Amino acid sequence: MKMLNKFYINGEWTEPSAGGGFAQIVDPSTEAVTGQLAMGSAEDVERAVAAAQAAFPAWSASSREERIALLERIIEQYTARLDEIAEAVREEIGAPITLCKNLQAAIGVAQLQAALATLRNFEFESVRGKSYVRREAIGVAALITPWNWPLNQITAKVAPALAAGCTIVLKPSEIAPFDALIFAQIMHDAGTPAGVFNMIYGDGKVVGSALASHPGVDMVSITGSTRAGVGVAISAAPTVKRVAQELGGKSPLLILDDTDLQTAVSTGVAQCMVNSGQTCIAPTRMLVPRARYDEAVAIAAAAANSLTVGDPADPATKMGPISNRAQYEKVQRMIRIGMEEGARVVAGGPGRPVGLERGFYAKPTIFADVHNDMTIAREEIFGPVLAIIPYADEEEAIRIANDTDYGLAGYIASGNPERARRVAARLRVGSVRINGAMLDVTAPFGGYKTSGNGREYGAEGLAEFLEIKSVTGL
């Protein structure tokens, strides 16, 4: 049984304030309680924010070279602990160990390296006529991160915030505390100045709300559900602080009639199901030409049925459990709703896969006969569930793709690059991936509509943590 009963505040591991209580840490593959996690209170938020405020004048005045050196040390420490980080993610959220090593842990290095490269060349000052424009650190940044890709989101926020000269209070997800503990240790061992980085555990209602509403916090960056993002924005509004939000999605994959159907459908299923479907940009709506609909459905069903679901510690496992009980129950409820509304299950369905009696395991599920006003086509499920929707022509495909409250990502499969670019220009989303392209951590990432505002990654992600000052008259 692991006891996580310390917070990292002002360069030290400190006891939480009284009154926060403890939460259970549950292994989603076995449903066994594996630890106890201290939960923060408003008093802990006060201490962490005060430490970040005190450290801000010196860190914001640090040189580019000092920030580069710190990021280089963080990368060195992080790289040395990659296997340990991967195992922590496997244990806390049930992601397959191969995925944890190859992506969940490794993407943190990629994010840190990308932020370092951006910092080396970022233009903090520029001349404009008789004026010059300065970009200065916004202040204390509260960073609220989710459980599904925990290291990606921690590093994608912490690294540019540090590069900008901000000081930080991190609230990681209480569902994924093990990797966050290691990350805080890395920050300490890398020699991060006291107060520049602080971490407290807690839930959104108490710690998240206290951070968002705190007058000493200058900016909040949150990745989470649209509901959570709205709550943070409401809490932040009275203090008129900046709020950057990377929220939910219901991303379409447009399979055009000039592509190889077998490859496009199989790739789309794989992208939807990775991490047990718990990815905000997962292509959960597959749009296929009506003339080839039955063929596409058969390919998708075969691809889903080929996935090995089981123990995340087994290197052969392709899909582990859903990461927590509440999310597992939501996925099961949404599958039942899809069936009740008339969609046809061609793979998977409700319940656990055969042979798995314990753990939050869900079946990779494919729905056919879906139309875009069904619940499973409108709401984010955040599980291994794919809806296949037919379309008559390109115009209808684009209309269906854009007929959603979300706008985080879009996917296109096409054998014609010019056509793919033309369709991409018409999608109301923040990023488009063509023909199975992987995520590019140097390109800006964020959403339209209820998928959020602001951008992460690259120069745009660094700029989110900066204020703009113009100086005229010299």
The C-alpha atoms of residue 472 and residue 60 are separated, in whole angstroms, by: 22
Confidence (pLDDT) at 179: 98
**Residue-by-residue DSSP string for 153-196:** HHHHHHHHHHHHT-EEEEE--TTSHHHHHHHHHHHHHTTPPTTT
Q: Taking the chain (474 residues) in consecutive chunks of 10 residues, what is each chunk's mean pLDDT?
A: 96 93 96 97 98 98 98 98 98 98 98 98 95 97 98 98 98 98 98 98 97 98 96 97 98 98 98 98 98 98 98 98 98 98 98 97 98 98 98 98 98 98 98 96 98 98 98 90
Confidence (pLDDT) at 474: 77
The C-alpha atoms of residue 333 and residue 269 are separated, in whole angstroms, by: 21
Confidence (pLDDT) at 132: 95
Query: What SS3 state is found at 208?
Result: helix
Phi/psi for 34 (5° steps) reads -110, -5
**Residue-by-residue DSSP string for 422-474:** HHHHH--SSEEEETTPPP-TTS-B--SGGGEES-BSHHHHHHTTEEEEEEE--
Burial profile 382-405: b = 16 or more Cβ within 10 angstroms, e = fewer: bbbbbbbbbbeebeebbebbbebe
| Residue pair 37/174 in contact by the 8 Å Cβ criterion | yes
Radius of gyration of the chain (CA): 22
Confidence (pLDDT) at 19: 82
* Active-site annotation holds for 280: yes
* Active-site annotation holds for 295: no
Confidence (pLDDT) at 294: 98
End-to-end CA gap in the chain: 64
Confidence (pLDDT) at 229: 96
| Residue pair 156/118 in contact by the 8 Å Cβ criterion | no
Confidence (pLDDT) at 20: 87
Active-site residue identified among 87, 91, 174, 246: 246
User: If phi over 0 gives left and psi between -120 and 50 gives alpha, with beta otherwise, what is residue 42?
Assistant: alpha
Query: What SS3 state is found at 111?
Result: helix
Active-site residue identified among 174, 280, 456, 464: 280
Confidence (pLDDT) at 240: 97
Confidence (pLDDT) at 243: 98
The C-alpha atoms of residue 42 and residue 200 are separated, in whole angstroms, by: 11
Confidence (pLDDT) at 78: 98
Could you tell me the domains of the chain? 2-247+450-472 (3.40.605.10), 252-441 (3.40.309.10)
CA 135 and chain centroid, separation: 27
The strands making up 33-38's β-sheet, listed across from edge to edge, are 2-4, 33-38, 22-26
